[in-house]
Chains A and B, each alone.
Chain A
């Protein structure tokens, strides 16, 4: 069995990470009734003997002693990390997994990437190595960060580079939260575009998430609960609505709910690598199947069920609804409409009591309403994991490599250009060591190239399909 390490950077990264660890623990607790440290648990947790005090050594078999997250928590201020350390998850982390500073990155990519990057490089590498040493087959790093601020965006992408240098064999999955257009950080477009260049070059897969989409989804869930329409169906302590394990005041619960959605995405993404199933889908299969060209590694995700949490007995109608929902606009985690754009590839990761015939029926049903690129008309990848998420009988995570990400990138580019034309706020960046104007021009051209690649693919949509002529054999 392989292991994965989560690297959570910045305020957003740490808050999402915190939700992830909470939900992961609860998921394993629900499956693992005997309290035995098993292979499934070992993928994200170490089992440490803390009785003797001090460092404690790993116990590979037997009873759970003390679980430690395979994680590195990085923030350039102390608030969020301190909160986690005082909360119910405090025992899951120890001081050797933390890197914090006191002064923050001032929402400046250059401060995070160049200044703190330089300053904390050795420290980060050493802690990454320590974490990696505890794994016996490290397969994947999950970086969680936001794009708009300074630490997550700047230092987060710096860590991504480090990972590539130090662990070139290990896959790098990045969960990136993109700022909304009404973001209160004026220079967030700069930060995001500078970070995009790093994602383009150094990530194996990026799961883009927009705050706006999360917000809409959470609002919709609340409306449904409050209107009483679905009150009896929505389970109060289901994974999406629950905030147990957090220390937030009531009014901040909607943030928790939003972060829970991302945490669920990561849980479902890794479920097949952790639990058994009749069709396993290992993490390394995701990039192999969904990334046809190295830079086009942005995967649009959608989770179902989100709004109506299913009953235990699943009539087949409900199950089919789950598949339909996964392709509807309001289930996507970015503002996008995959059905009206071009699919390069699509993966369905199903959990629970779902069989291959259910998959086939739904693929056949949905296929006619979707557009696939001419050379990948049957670009479906599927995984079946037999363990459902807590509180559900089944669930579906759809990952789409689809040109529908383009509008998000174009809007980002527009907002960047509006500032950049006037050279507004550039001086905040340029006075940082190692930061030059060329960093901006290179970043925007990297983004433009990416958009252009999607444009070229979009141009093939709807046109006449001409198959290349086959190899001729002399008879």
Chain B
């Protein structure tokens, strides 16, 4: 089945372009250290998911590019075309002349309704090119105006127009400081609206990726391109073809559906985090070797201690002992340290993955009491190595990963809201104080639900 990617705003378009690059270089740049037959079926499944064929033979990304200003899209189109490996459809993009000016209300209430028909038309055409449509993957930041505001609007339209398709929103969580001053308002409005229309939100935090670039990738002067490439690699490790069952003959046919089924058992919980291991500069790969038990041990501790990368994990954190009393809501020692999960998915790619033992992820103490580990944990794998890593593991987790960042963000936005600062910029485009209050209510509910797991 195929996925249609919708890239929204500067951030969405820059990342989307890196994602297709990463997928292409995985498929073309390596043989995957597996049998020819295996590699071929991986290749074919990847093609079907992300690209359509054209007469010229160059794969065309199943993507719709949307921005309110032209510079980023034209750059993405031309860089992709020059790569020779893939390209964007020349007609599958839409841009205007003037951006949304970091104003969510402008993107959501003005640009959205005004350009709805054109954008949805492009999406429709792209969807019709798929023999079988699994759903939509939207990429956007929640800080700015176009990705966040227009993105929230378009997600709602997708939900209405394609009720049977899955929608996964990839959301970039802005740096704590320094990108956009009204980012906390924009984020609160984005998250609350997506919570109503999206099937799941897959979140990347810029601060975390920045740290990975500095500490794991050893990049001295980090650019947005570096950050975006790490994000693209992580996304690729989840979305490249994978076997979802032991002994399966085919690669997963419903990539988004399978993901929702394993990770979103309840509509109140749809915030997904992503962790990868190992991650290192390409030049170091040749000198490194990994064992599955080592990787899995690290990944599990990253999960329970809520570590964002393999360096600096707190090894002291342990799951609560069975039989001990269920900690009360504000029992802080638990809140601060142990990360409770709703559902986890581990994806293994590479040599000898059959030998990997994931028993440590099936401990009931890791999960909320209302799900058994059998329901809450899934393992997907393929012998086909990903992106030059002989062995690699990814963890997609619906857990308390994002509780603290979300709580911080809502707190900061609420502080600002209490002083009424910047509100006039939103009322100018029809978003009133009431709308803000609704959004705050939605997110406080989400925070409360994740807190009481």
| Residue positions of A touching B, CB distance < 8 A | 1-2, 39, 136-137, 139, 276, 278-280, 282, 284-285, 287-294, 344-345, 355-360, 363, 367, 374-382, 384, 467-468, 470-473, 475
A136 partner residues in chain B, CB cutoff 8 A: 97
**Contact (Cβ within 8 A) A282 B415:** no
Whole-angstrom CA separation of A278 from B206 in the bound complex: 15
**Contact (Cβ within 8 A) B415 A284:** no
**Contact (Cβ within 8 A) A470 B414:** yes
Contacting residue for B425 out of A278, A280, A291, CB 8 A: A291
Q: A288-B425, A290-B181 are in contact. Are A375 and B419 (CB under 8 A)?
A: yes
**B48 within 8 Å of A (CB atoms):** no
B220 partner residues in chain A, CB cutoff 8 A: 357
A379 partner residues in chain B, CB cutoff 8 A: 181
CB pairs A–B below 8 angstroms (22 shown): A139-B98, A278-B14, A285-B101, A287-B425, A288-B102, A291-B422, A293-B420, A344-B421, A345-B181, A355-B222, A357-B222, A357-B223, A358-B221, A359-B178, A375-B416, A380-B178, A380-B179, A382-B178, A470-B414, A470-B444, A473-B448, A475-B448
Contacting residue for B415 out of A290, A468, A475, CB 8 A: A468
**Contact (Cβ within 8 A) B415 A375:** yes
**Contact (Cβ within 8 A) A473 B441:** yes
B182 partner residues in chain A, CB cutoff 8 A: 288-289
Whole-angstrom CA separation of A287 from B101 in the bound complex: 9
Whole-angstrom CA separation of A374 from B414 in the bound complex: 12
Contacting residue for B180 out of A139, A289, A375, A376, CB 8 A: A289
A377 partner residues in chain B, CB cutoff 8 A: 412
Nearest 9 pairs of A and B residues by beta carbon: A284-B101, A357-B222, A378-B177, A292-B421, A137-B97, A468-B418, A289-B181, A380-B178, A278-B224
B441 partner residues in chain A, CB cutoff 8 A: 471, 473
B425 partner residues in chain A, CB cutoff 8 A: 287-288, 291
Whole-angstrom CA separation of A382 from B75 in the bound complex: 21
Contacting residue for A380 out of B69, B181, B445, CB 8 A: B181
Q: A280-B72, A380-B177 are in contact. Are A356 and B227 (CB under 8 A)?
A: yes
B213 partner residues in chain A, CB cutoff 8 A: 357
Whole-angstrom CA separation of A473 from B178 in the bound complex: 31
**Contact (Cβ within 8 A) B98 A282:** yes
**B85 within 8 Å of A (CB atoms):** no
B178 partner residues in chain A, CB cutoff 8 A: 359-360, 363, 378, 380-382
B214 partner residues in chain A, CB cutoff 8 A: 357
**Contact (Cβ within 8 A) B97 A1:** yes
Whole-angstrom CA separation of A279 from B411 in the bound complex: 26
**B410 within 8 Å of A (CB atoms):** yes
Closest Cβ of chain A to B3, distance in Å, is: 27
Q: Which residue of B lies closest to A275 (CB)?
A: B71
Closest Cβ of chain A to B389, distance in Å, is: 25
**B175 within 8 Å of A (CB atoms):** yes
**B279 within 8 Å of A (CB atoms):** no
| Residue positions of B touching A, CB distance < 8 A | 10, 14, 69-72, 75, 97-99, 101-103, 145, 175-182, 210, 213-214, 219-225, 227, 410-412, 414-416, 418-422, 424-425, 437, 440-441, 444-445, 448, 452
In the complex, how many residue pairs between chain A and chain B have their CB atoms under 8 Å apart?
A: 138
B75 partner residues in chain A, CB cutoff 8 A: 276
Q: A136-B97, A293-B421 are in contact. Are A285 and B414 (CB under 8 A)?
A: no
Whole-angstrom CA separation of A378 from B176 in the bound complex: 8
Closest Cβ of chain A to B10, distance in Å, is: 6
Closest Cβ of chain A to B21, distance in Å, is: 16
Contacting residue for B222 out of A285, A287, A356, A363, CB 8 A: A356
Whole-angstrom CA separation of A293 from B416 in the bound complex: 12
Count chain A CB atoms within 10 A of each CB in B101, B175, B437 and give the residue with the most. Answer: B101
Closest Cβ of chain A to B141, distance in Å, is: 11
**Contact (Cβ within 8 A) B210 A357:** yes
B448 partner residues in chain A, CB cutoff 8 A: 473, 475
B72 partner residues in chain A, CB cutoff 8 A: 280
B222 partner residues in chain A, CB cutoff 8 A: 355-357
Closest Cβ of chain A to B324, distance in Å, is: 23
Closest Cβ of chain B to A330, distance in Å, is: 25
Closest Cβ of chain A to B411, distance in Å, is: 7
A357 partner residues in chain B, CB cutoff 8 A: 210, 213-214, 219-223
Contacting residue for B175 out of A280, A293, A360, CB 8 A: A360
Whole-angstrom CA separation of A471 from B415 in the bound complex: 11
Q: A375-B419, A467-B415 are in contact. Are A284 and B224 (CB under 8 A)?
A: no
B70 partner residues in chain A, CB cutoff 8 A: 1, 39
Q: Which residue of B lies closest to A367 (CB)?
A: B177
A380 partner residues in chain B, CB cutoff 8 A: 177-179, 181
Closest Cβ of chain A to B416, distance in Å, is: 5
Q: A380-B178, A470-B414 are in contact. Are A280 and B98 (CB under 8 A)?
A: no
A284 partner residues in chain B, CB cutoff 8 A: 98-99, 101-103
Count chain B CB atoms within 10 A of each CB in A344, A467, A470 and give the residue with the most. Answer: A470
Closest Cβ of chain B to A381, distance in Å, is: 5
B102 partner residues in chain A, CB cutoff 8 A: 284-285, 288-289, 381
**Contact (Cβ within 8 A) A280 B10:** yes
Q: Which residue of A lies closest to B222 (CB)?
A: A357
**Contact (Cβ within 8 A) B422 A280:** no
Closest Cβ of chain A to B214, distance in Å, is: 7
**Contact (Cβ within 8 A) B452 A475:** yes
Q: Besides A278-B224, A289-B102, A292-B421, 9 other CB < 8 A contacts?
A: A1-B71, A2-B69, A287-B425, A288-B102, A355-B221, A355-B222, A355-B224, A381-B181, A471-B444
Whole-angstrom CA separation of A357 from B412 in the bound complex: 24
